[in-house]
Amino acid sequence: MSDTPKEQNSIPTSKVQRSAKFVKTGFKIGGNYIKHYSKKLFNPELDKTELNEDNASDIYKSLSELKGSALKVAQMLSMDKNLLPQAYVNKFSQSQYNAPPLSGPLIVQTFKKLFGKTPEQIYDKFNLKSTNAASIGQVHQAELNGKKLAVKIQYPGVGDSISSDLKLVKPFAFRLLGMSEKELDIYMREVEERLLEETDYELEVRRSIEFSNACAILDNVVFPTYYSELSGKRIITMDWLEGKHLREFLQTNPSQQLRDTIGQALWDFYNFQQHELRAVHADPHPGNFMITPDGKLGIIDFGCIKEMPEDFYTPFFSLTSTDLLSNKEETIKAFRLLDMIHSNDTPQQVEFYYNIYKQMISLFAKPYITDRFDFGQTDFFDELYGFGEKLSKMPEFKQARGVKHFIYVNRTNFGLYNILHELKARVKTDTYKPHVVLEY
């Protein structure tokens, strides 16, 4: 990583401290707008590039010091490339790799609070310098009985401040996303639900064991062993997986064959979960995966799991099967079940949304329709982003459409597509197929 962020000696944990930080950031952004509009008086041609860069930088700095849910929302938005100006995407995507880590004394304090012992009393060796700091926690290297371990420690106050943080981040999100109030509420509620689960490390350990056992049948996918007895509400201990993150891996100029192998492992990992377990690892940012020295895909984080209820799964994935999509009447029934077409829509609106959504799903389903798909091709992604861009500007999509499950399922699948695109992987896409029905 180029510029290592400085360590942080304290973290604002109380509601008052955290909201003061947001207010201060709000003033800074106000100042950036004033600066932008005064410059614009002298240069009417001035666009918002510099303003966006200043704002993105101020918001990111503030969120990365606060850690937690607000930073997580920024990270999520940066993955959804259609929602934000590029300056924000570039800045916020840093939170996937390097938020400023907490200092040694704060870490020792967290251990004492949880286990009544310092890290040195628990492990044979413990490195107080963090190897990786993200939005909700940071990772330290440790050793016990000759085994190399990764210890994930949650930042103080993060779990307790989710609801109040999301209320504070709402005005920023409102301004940046241009969503309607109702849509933003649905978005924030679903995010809050997942974040409450993501900060419950005991739940994460149980799920990690459960999912890694279920996925053990997959080729070229590896998982660390988790140690419940060395884990707790805010700390997780697991095996240290050797390997490179996606960015570092791609810098080694891997062969097409190796990229295809990793891409296939990723495709199978996601589609096996979606279609066989009906629950999916819903945080496909590159920081959650390692490529091991023997060319396997290591999965190192099961914090965010999205379960898919039957009444969402079947209509949605049946639509990715072309047979249903070619039957207008049945497709409209499925769209109604998914709340993409509302009961009070006029016949014209029904026709409009039917056409747009049919186009959108046909595009999304392209990899599912053939037996193999080349994710390296740029045409598909240009079309995908272009379509997303077009929708974001349409007034008809300013009001909420679609059940809440779309938020994480779309994020998961588009996140998966993006990683496969970065890998330029050619993938066999018929390994785990959706279970579908052809009429309602």
Asked whether residue 170 is domain-assigned, the answer is yes
Verify that 359 and 227 share a domain, yes or no: no
In this prediction, residues 164-188 reach a mean pLDDT of 67
pLDDT at 408: 81
Per the domain annotation, does 209 fall within a domain? yes
Instruction: State residue 168 phi and psi, 5-degree precision.
Output: -70, -35
Q: Is the pLDDT at 31 greater than 60, yes or no? A: no
Question: What is the pLDDT at residue 282?
Answer: 85
- Among the ranges given (27-41, 171-185, 241-255), the one the predictor scored with the smallest mean pLDDT: 27-41
pLDDT of residue 221: 97
Assess whether pLDDT exceeds 80 at residue 397: no
The residue behind tokens 């996918």 is 221
Q: What are phi and psi of 417, to 5 degrees?
A: -60, -40
Residue 77 lies in a domain: yes
**Same-domain check for residues 279 and 358:** yes
pLDDT band, residue 423 (cuts 50/70/90): very high
- The band of 229, judged by pLDDT with boundaries at 50, 70 and 90, is very high
Could you give the 3-state DSSP secondary structure of residue 281? strand
pLDDT at 174: 60
Distance spanning both ends of the chain, measured CA to CA = 52
Strand partners, 125: 143
Least confident of 7-16, 46-55, 245-254, 368-377: 7-16
Token representation of residue 394: 């349409």
Instruction: Return the top range by mean pLDDT from 43-52, 173-182, 410-419.
Output: 410-419
Q: 411 lies in a domain?
A: yes
Q: What is the dihedral of CA 123, 125, 130, 134, to 10 degrees?
A: -30
Per-residue pLDDT, averaged over 248-276, amounts to 96
Provide the pLDDT for residue 4. Answer: 47
Q: How confident is the model at residue 231 (pLDDT cuts 50, 70, 90)?
A: very high
Q: Over 90: is that where the pLDDT of 255 sits?
A: yes
- Any domain includes 235: yes
Please report whether residue 32 resides in a domain.
yes
pLDDT tens column, 277-327? 999 888 887 888 999 999 999 998 887 788 999 999 999 998 887 678 888
Residue 157: is its pLDDT beyond 60? yes
Which pLDDT does position 198 carry in this prediction? 80
pLDDT at 175: 60
Residue where one domain finishes, among candidates 221, 240, 259? 240
Q: Kindly tell me if the per-residue pLDDT of 27 is higher than 50.
A: no
Residues 357 and 384 in one domain: yes
Tell me: pLDDT of 335 over 60: yes
CATH number of the domain enclosing 213: 3.30.200
Strand stretches in 130-259, DSSP E: 132-133, 137-144, 147-154, 221-222, 235-239
Distance (Å, whole) CA 51 – CA 85: 11
CA Rg value for the chain: 23
Per mean pLDDT, which of 60-74, 238-252, 309-323 is the most reliable?
238-252
**More reliable by pLDDT, 181 or 91:** 181
Tokens 């891409």 belong to 263
Q: Is 424 left (phi over 0), alpha (psi -120 to 50) or beta?
A: left
Same domain for 214 and 268, yes or no, is no
215 and 287 co-located in one domain: no
For residue 73, give its domain range. Answer: 15-97+165-176
Strands, E assignment, 91-217:
125-126, 132-133, 137-144, 147-154
Q: Report, as an integer, the average pLDDT of 151-163.
A: 77
Give φ, ψ of 41 to 5 degrees: -60, -40
User: Confidence class of residue 328 from pLDDT cuts 50, 70 and 90?
Assistant: very high
Tell me, yes or no, whether 222 lies in a domain. Answer: yes
Residues 34 and 137 in one domain: no
- Side-chain-side CA neighbours of 242 within 13 Å: the count stands at 5
Q: Lowest mean pLDDT: which of 22-31, 119-128, 356-365?
A: 22-31
Reference 162, options 120, 200, 111; nearest CA is 200
Cα(332)–Cα(28) distance, integer angstroms: 47
Higher pLDDT, 68 or 272: 272
Same domain, 419 and 363: yes
pLDDT digits (tens, 9 = 90+) for 205-220: 999 999 999 999 999 9
Record the pTM: 0.75
pLDDT at 149: 97
Indicate the pLDDT class of residue 35, thresholds 50, 70 and 90.
low
- Shared domain check, 146 and 133: yes
- Structural domain includes residue 192: no
The residue among 211, 240, 269 that closes a domain is 240
For 8, 76, 83, 139, 316, the CA distances from 393, given in Å and listed in that order, are: 40, 20, 10, 40, 24
User: For all residues of the chain together, what is the average pLDDT?
Assistant: 79
Do 269 and 404 lie in one domain? The reply is: yes
Residue written as token pair 């053990």: 216
For every residue of 117-130, DSSP letters joined together read S-HHHHSSEE-SS-
Cβ atoms within 10 Å, residue 433: 13
Residue with tokens 């029934």: 333
pLDDT of 166 above 90? no
- Whether residues 284 and 422 fall in one domain: yes
Is a pLDDT exceeding 90 seen at residue 349? yes
272 & 366 share domain: yes
At residue 307, φ and ψ (nearest 5 deg) are -90, 140
Most trustworthy range by pLDDT among 73-82, 150-159, 169-178, 311-320:
311-320
Looking at the fold, whether 277 and 172 belong to one and the same domain comes out as: no
Determine the pLDDT at residue 3. Answer: 46
The answer, yes or no, to whether residue 30 has pLDDT greater than 80, is: no
Q: Specify which residues 144 forms β-bridges with.
A: 147
Decide which of 141, 176, 211 is a domain's last residue: 176
Nearest to 423 by CA among 259, 221, 294, 220: 259
pLDDT at 433: 87
- 56: confidence class by pLDDT, cuts 50, 70, 90: low
Q: Quick one: 95 exposed, middle or buried, by C-beta within 10 A (0-12, 13-18, 19+)?
A: buried
Q: Number of folded domains in the chain?
A: 3
